[in-house]
C-alpha cells in the first residue's frame, strides 16, 4: 500500500501500523497487508452500520473519519458478517479470510491491551476459518539437478548462482534480492529475514563456486547510489527485483520440463528444506535455524513429507490391495493373484525333501 493510501486510513489504524513497524519490527509487506485488510474491514463496517453512501463504489468509501466512538460500536457478530461478505462477495478463500482475522484481532488487542482504549476486546473470541493442511510442494533431487543444468544465456552465471542459493540455503525471495556484497564473508552469508531478523547461513562448496563464478563476470566496481552494494544486479546494473527473479526461475523451470506444475521461487525454499531432511538427514532443529523459522511447528511440516512418502510406498506394494474373498476362508482365495519369482517357480517343480 502506498504512503498516500495509508494517510487515508483512520488515525488509530495509522498509529497501529507505526507500532507494527517501530516496535514489532514487521516487514513492509506484512504492514501493507494488514493495512489493506483493515481498510476493507472498516469500509464494510461503515456500510453495515448505514454510515456510507451505497451509491459510492466500495473501493472509494472514505474511512478516514472513523473514530474511537465508531470502533466501540463494532461487535463480534459484525466481524463474522464481514468474513461472510469476504467469502461470498469478494471470493476470498480460507487463507485470505484467516489473514483478515489475524489483522482484526491484533488491531483490537492493541487498542485494548496496549492503549487501554477499550474496556473489553470484542474480537477476543473471533475464530479463524479452518485451513486445509497440505504438504509443501517441492522438487525431487533429480528435478533440482535438471533445473540447474537447464541454466543458459548471457546471464547464466548470475542465474545459476541464484538458483544454487535458493536450492542449497532455502532463502526466501525477499532475502535473496536484499543480499549485499558485504553479507558474504568467507563461507558464511548474513541473511536478513522477516522482521529484519538476521541469521547466518553457511555456504557449501556448490554455493561458494557459484558465487565465485558470478562475481568474476559481474564486476561491481563503479556502481553508485543505493544499489551499489547489491549482490545480484539486473541488466541495468541495479538491484535485481523480485519480479525479475520470479521470471527467471519460471523460465528455467519451463526449460527443464517442470513448468506448469505449480513450482515457484518459494517452492525452491521448500525443496532445500526437504532435501536437507530426506537426503542430508539434518535434524529438524537445525533446519529451523537455516530457514529462519520462528516456530518449530512451521519447520516440522517437512518431516510430514517423509511420512507421506512412506505411506505412498506402502500402498505401492502390489499386494497392498489383495483381500480375502470371504472371512475365514482357508487356502488361497480364487481372486488372489499369487506373484512368485523365477527361482521360486523352479523350486516349486522340485519334489519336497
Report the catalytic residues.
172, 194, 266, 269, 293, 302
CB neighbour class for 206 (10 Å; exposed up to 12, middle 13-18, buried from 19): middle
Q: What is the 8-class DSSP label of residue 73?
A: T
Ranges assigned E (strand) in 193-283 = 198-202
Q: What is the DSSP track for 283-345?
A: -HHHHHHHHT-SSHHHHTHHHHHHHHHHHHHHHHSTTTT---SSTT--S--TTPPP---HHHH
Spatial neighbors of 199 by CB under 8 A, at least 6 apart, are 190, 191, 193, 289, 292
User: CA torsion sign, 48 to 54 to 59 to 60?
Assistant: negative
Could you give the C-alpha distances from 138 to 141, 252, 270, 302, in angstroms and in order?
A: 10, 15, 6, 10
Amino acid at each position: 500500500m502506498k504512503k498516500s493510501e495509508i494517510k487515508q486510513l483512520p488515525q488509530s489504524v495509522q498509529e497501529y501500523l507505526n507500532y507494527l513497524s517501530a516496535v514489532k519490527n514487521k516487514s513492509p509487506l506484512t504492514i501493507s497487508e494488514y493495512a489493506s485488510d483493515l481498510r476493507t474491514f472498516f469500509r464494510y463496517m461503515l456500510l453495515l452500520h448505514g454510515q456510507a453512501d451505497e451509491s459510492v463504489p466500495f473501493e472509494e468509501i472514505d474511512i478516514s473519519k472513523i473514530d474511537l466512538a465508531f470502533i466501540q460500536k463494532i461487535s463480534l457478530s459484525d466481524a463474522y458478517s464481514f468474513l461472510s461478505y469476504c467469502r461470498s462477495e469478494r471470493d476470498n478463500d480460507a487463507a485470505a479470510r484467516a489473514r483478515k482475522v489475524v489483522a482484526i484481532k491484533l488491531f483490537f488487542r492493541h487498542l485494548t491491551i496496549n492503549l487501554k482504549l477499550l474496556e473489553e476486546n470484542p474480537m477476543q473470541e473471533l475464530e479463524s476459518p479452518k485451513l486445509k493442511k497440505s504438504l509443501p510442494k517441492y522438487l525431487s533431487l533429480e528435478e533440482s539437478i535438471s533445473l540447474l543444468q537447464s541454466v543458459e544465456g548471457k546471464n547464466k552465471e548470475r542465474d545459476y548462482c541464484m538458483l544454487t542459493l535458493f536450492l542449497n540455503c532455502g532463502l526466501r525471495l525477499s532475502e535473496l534480492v536484499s543480499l549485499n556484497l558485504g553479507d558474504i564473508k568467507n563461507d558464511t552469508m548474513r541473511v536478513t529475514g522477516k522482521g529484519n531478523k538476521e541469521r547466518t547461513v553457511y555456504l557449501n562448496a556448490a554455493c561458494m563456486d557459484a558465487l565465485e563464478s558470478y562475481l568474476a563476470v559481474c564486476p561491481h566496481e563503479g556502481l553508485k547510489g543505493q544499489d551499489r552494494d547489491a549482490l545480484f544486479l539486473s541488466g541495468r546494473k541495479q538491484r535485481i527485483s523480485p519480479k525479475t527473479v520470479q521470471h527467471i526461475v519460471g523460465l528455467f523451470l519451463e526449460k527443464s520440463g517442470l513448468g506448469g506444475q505449480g513450482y515457484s521461487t518459494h517452492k525452491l525454499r521448500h525443496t532445500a528444506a526437504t532435501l536437507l531432511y530426506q537426503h542430508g538427514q539434518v535434524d529438524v532443529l537445525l533446519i529451523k535455524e537455516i530457514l529462519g523459522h520462528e516456530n518449530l511447528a512451521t519447520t516440522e511440516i517437512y518431516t510430514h513429507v517423509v511420512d507421506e512418502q512412506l505411506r505412498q510406498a506402502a500402498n505401492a506394494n502390489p499386494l497392498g490391495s489383495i483381500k480375502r474373498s470371504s472371512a475365514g476362508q482357508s487356502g488361497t482365495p480364487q481372486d488372489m493373484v499369487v506373484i512368485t519369482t523365477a527361482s521360486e517357480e523352479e523350486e516349486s517343480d522340485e519334489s519336497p525333501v
